[in-house]
Amino acid sequence: MISRFPVIDISPTTYFGGEFVAAKAIPHEAITVGATIIREGHESFEALVLLFDSAGKERARNSMRLIWPGSDRYEGLITPTDLGHWSFAIEVRDEKGIHSTSEKFPIYAENPRALIGSWYEFFPRSEGAKKNADGSITTGTFLTAIDSLARVADMGFDILYLPPIHPIGLSFRKGKNNSTTAQPGEPGVPWGIGSEAGGHDAINPELGTLQDFQKFVAAAAKLKIEIALDLALQCSPDHPWAKDHQEWFTKRADGTIAYAENPPKKYQDIYPINFDNDYEGLLSEVIRIVKYWISQGIRAFRVDNPHTKPVHFWQECIAKINAEFPDVIFLAEAFTRPAMMHALGKAGFQQSYTYFTWRVTKQELIDYGTEVAKQTSGFFRPNFWVNTPDILPFHLQSGNPAVFALRAVLASTMTPSWGMYAGYELYEHTPFKEGGEEYKDSEKYEIKVRDWAGAAKAGLTLAPFIKSLNAIRKAHPALQRLRNLEFHPTDSDQIIAYSKREGDDLILVVVNLDPTRAQETTIHWNYFFLGLDEARFATFEVTDLLDGKQYSWGRDTFVRLDPARPVGRVAHIAHVKLS
């Protein structure tokens, strides 16, 4: 039944799988609750949003405001203060005491890492690797990779993601640049999991022992770096599952197990899982594996290709893990159709990879930024990656340092979680073939020997700039929120401007999207989005956090950004002085 005062189109609410699933939140994150509220006649009424804790006790009631005259649309803020389950409702009453209250809708406040993080990816086998006089390569290990942790920490990254660390199969092992035949000594693809040395709960002997891994995790923790592991539900033909659990795979008519295919590509070194034959057995095994790595100190998992597995599997798996370990987070590596990406978020994934990698123009960035910050933030948390071992986007293939810098600015300031794969800071940019978005000599198929020290000595690294970006993120709460992203008009299609505000922390970001030429424009700051009183702030003082320079800006601000100057000039990241 419609209540006395109809309250409709309530957000953030998500109906999925026959129920309302909890809106995503973290403790102390302000969440905007919206609703359309109507009544007959012209009498006024008061609208409130009520916040309840997990015991159903009312913890706050805050006023809602009409967002524009005649819209019937009201908004108010609620802020969960602790981890766990919360709910909200909307109450409406008039001067006569007539009132209506909506039903309650769920919110789940998770580990802050579910929303906020600077991610870095490297392959342990490349860290500390050496090229020998005869051309052979001595692999890196967990112990040699410990020395690389200081470099990661110095750049300000707080989550280090490792591709699969398990034994790699020999059967149909892929070689350099995805060749179908591996040459002697080639290490194979880490996602071809499993050999006689074990499967998903084993360590690749070439990387060291379990004790070595434990030392690596402990060393990272001392530097305040969390380790995220890959969870890839697939295996090589040599995996113990292929022998002991053939019911977990799809078989051809001749009785052989079918390998993975994504036409025209074929992956003879990988067997995909079939969840229809023994669902409960697979669910139990995956939960066992995840719990095993949790027991080794892991609290973050990057899930490989989750969209090729049943959505309800992830909903059940993540719910069971989080019921026992609420601080564990799962990042979905799902570059796929929007509906599937969104479904995985609704099913429980705390974060997802996104289309940011391919959003380049000003309008594309505005549209996508608005989508992830406003339209889908109740169920989908974006993690903006500038590159991956699989993806070398076309805009990076020039090798121009300015484009690497400006993309890092966008990724690290538009959303509270961002990531980059090792080599980005060295401007690695050579494609495997013209018209393709894959790296030549990709680290997926070989061990990379990089001269980090030499690049730093020669000044051929973006690392100092990345360090500045991550330091700015850590120092400013506004950049640690998603829903506060607001775009502002500029007179140039090559310059984008946006703001973020959290309490008294107001950040303005201006980026030149043209890495080859200086661009200039006038920005028209929307004072309503800034939360500023124009009578008091006809002009306002800002400090550029990239270089410390101070400026006086106002409603209409002229800027000029020249990428030919040091990389800091691809953007302004300005902190507004409010007092």
- Residues contacting residue 43 through CB under 8 Å, at least 6 positions apart: 94, 95
Distances (CA, A) of 336 to 46, 312, 339, 382, 393: 44, 17, 8, 14, 16
- Residues contacting residue 551 through CB under 8 Å, at least 6 positions apart: 541, 542, 544, 574
Smallest CA-to-CA distance from 169 within 189, 186, 194 is with 194
Distance between first and last Cα of the chain: 50
Contact between 130 and 138 under an 8 Å Cβ cutoff? The reply is: yes
The residues pairing with 490 across neighbouring beta strands, listed in sequence order, are 523
Q: Which helix (H) or strand (E) holds 471?
A: helix 463-475
Residue 106, Cβ neighbours under 10 Å: how many?
16
The residues pairing with 162 across neighbouring beta strands, listed in sequence order, are 229
The residues pairing with 382 across neighbouring beta strands, listed in sequence order, are 352
- Catalytic residue list contains 103: no
List the catalytic residue out of 304, 428, 446, 505: 304
- Catalytic residue list contains 304: yes
Amino acid at 136: S
Backbone angles phi, psi at 569, to 5 degrees: -85, 10
Distance CA 62, CA 32 (A): 11
Q: Which residue has 């020249």 as its token pair?
A: 562
- DSSP string covering 410-457: HHHHHSSEEEEETTGGGT---BSSTT--SBTT-TTTS-----HHHHHH
Greatest distance between any 2 Cα atoms in the chain: 90
- DSSP string covering 229-268: EEE--EE-TTSHHHHH-GGGS-B-TTSPBPPEEETTEEET
Strands (E) in 256-413, as ranges, are: 260-262, 265-267, 271-272, 300-304, 329-333, 351-352, 384-385
Distance CA 16, CA 24 (A): 14
List the catalytic residue out of 110, 230, 269, 333: 333
Q: Which helix (H) or strand (E) holds 152?
A: helix 142-154
Active site residues: 304, 333
